[in-house]
Amino acid sequence: MNDAIVLRRQTAFWLAALAFLMLSLWLTAEVLLPFVAGMALAYLFNPLAARLERLGIGRTVASLIAMFVFVMCFIVLLLLIMPILIGQLGALIENLPSYVSKLQSLLADPSSPWLRKVLGENFVAPDASLGDLVKQSAGWLSTFLKSLWSGGQTLISVVSLIVITPVVAFYLLCDWDRMIAAVDSWIPLENRETVRELGRQIDVAIAGFVRGQATVCLLLGSFYAVSLSLTGLNFGLLIGLVSGIITFIPYIGSMTGLLLAICVAVAQFLPEWQWIVVVIVIFFVGQFIEGYILAPKLVGESVGLHPVWLMFALFAFGYLFGFVGLLLAVPLAAAIGVLARFGLKRYLASAYYRGEDNPVVPMKPTRAPESVD
């Protein structure tokens, strides 16, 4: 009976702590972005700083080197790629109404009987109201993208993000080991080993997915960008990189990139169907490379994040907390998944499940493989 009371109290405490954390995130979401991004950056570069420290370099100097590497890569990216991406994005916004109008004309073209058979007579009927609706939608979307592009600084302070994030990451890297030791010292002695093991499992899940999937997105985005640019597709570099980045969202990311590329290809290349087929083949090859080569090698099967759970977490946290929620979705989803599996194991080992009067039997989680620094 006493064990059951203790269990209920612990459950109530952690649920209250979770509710307090969610409320704090919701109240401070507007100013959290540079700090959450700095924390994510520190987590990503902590293995590099740890390796430099093992080579005899002081922690402060190692953290400074890690941040210097990041800043240099970021500057090179800005100088080499950003001007091209900005130019292509501006051109895409300007040409979007004409592209949509051309696609609508193709759908309403009476000389396309194959399209009528696929989509149905009513869907592609050459109705003037349909054309007006599509043109109005295209104009609204173009206006929205222009306002977002010109006024996006009101939503996210780019200056604070660029300046504050590396500073926050540097200080967190310097104090990383001390912070971990301090948090570890707060854990009750009776549960310390269990909490440590859960922390290791969460670290393995987060590191395995975030670092592995980030590498997959980078490689896949490079493949799409180069391949689509070589086909001569307008905005191929922009579409390819965006398709690679949003691959972070399973299935939805790749399908979004494929549909965007097909729409641009149809509007640009028609009636030369061979180039449209080439664009489709590029995405299928990319999906094959991701599914059978990159993801198994870089992400692995032991991460424990089901694609459906990950998609739900990204949409839910993104809806609640905006861009900050997207940054927090993966680590929080990984942590919740580890804790849910641990709770399920304890439940299956408890008297509540077996229908016995025996007290709850504490159960330590299965030891996960050590995270590779």
The domains of the chain are located at: 35-186
pLDDT tens figures, 70-94 = 888 888 877 887 777 777 777 777 7
With beta carbons less than 8 A apart as the criterion, state whether 257 and 238 touch.
no
- What is the rounded CA–CA span in Å between residue 96 and residue 100? 6
In this structure, which amino acid lies at residue 298?
Answer: L
Higher pLDDT, 311 or 199: 199
* pLDDT given at position 135: 53
Per-residue pLDDT averaged across 222-248, rounded? Answer: 86
CB-based burial, 39-74: b 16+ in 10 Å, e otherwise: bbbbbbbbebbbebbeeeeebeebbbebbeebeeee
* pLDDT given at position 215: 84
Q: What mean pLDDT value characterizes the chain?
A: 76
* pLDDT given at position 188: 78
CA distances from 339 to 164, 299, 320, 342, 356 (A): 32, 21, 22, 5, 24
Residue 96 three-state SS: helix
Rg (the chain; Cα; Å)? 25
Higher pLDDT, 130 or 246: 246
Higher pLDDT, 229 or 299: 229
Tell me the range of 146-150, 270-274, 365-369 where mean pLDDT is highest.
270-274
pLDDT tens figures, 15-30 = 887 788 878 877 877 7
The closest alpha carbon to 36, from 238, 328, 258, 321, belongs to 328
Residue 229 three-state SS: helix
The closest alpha carbon to 104, from 125, 127, 134, 128, belongs to 134
Residue 164 predicted with pLDDT over 70 = yes
- What is the rounded CA–CA span in Å between residue 63 and residue 202? 23
Beta-carbon count within 10 A of 151 CB: 9
* pLDDT given at position 162: 77
- What is the rounded CA–CA span in Å between residue 231 and residue 254? 19
- What is the rounded CA–CA span in Å between residue 96 and residue 128? 20
- What is the rounded CA–CA span in Å between residue 114 and residue 118? 6
With beta carbons less than 8 A apart as the criterion, state whether 170 and 67 touch.
yes
Residue 200 predicted with pLDDT over 70 = yes
Q: pLDDT-derived band of residue 37, with 50, 70 and 90 as boundaries?
A: confident
- What is the rounded CA–CA span in Å between residue 51 and residue 73? 19
**Which residues are CB-contacts of 70 (< 8 A; sequence separation ≥ 6)?**
41, 45, 166, 169
* pLDDT given at position 38: 87
- What is the rounded CA–CA span in Å between residue 31 and residue 157? 9
* pLDDT given at position 154: 41
Task: Please give the structure tokens belonging to residue 367.
Answer: 């030891």
* pLDDT given at position 151: 45
* pLDDT given at position 241: 87
Span between the terminal Cα atoms of the chain, in Å: 44
DSSP conformational letter for 1 = -
The closest alpha carbon to 286, from 236, 223, 239, belongs to 223
- What is the rounded CA–CA span in Å between residue 108 and residue 121? 10
Q: pLDDT-derived band of residue 171, with 50, 70 and 90 as boundaries?
A: very high
DSSP conformational letter for 109 = -
* pLDDT given at position 366: 53
pLDDT tens figures, 245-302 = 887 776 667 788 888 888 888 888 877 788 889 999 999 998 888 878 887 777 665 5
Q: What is the pTM of this model?
A: 0.65
DSSP letters for 110-125: TT-HHHHHHH-TTTT-
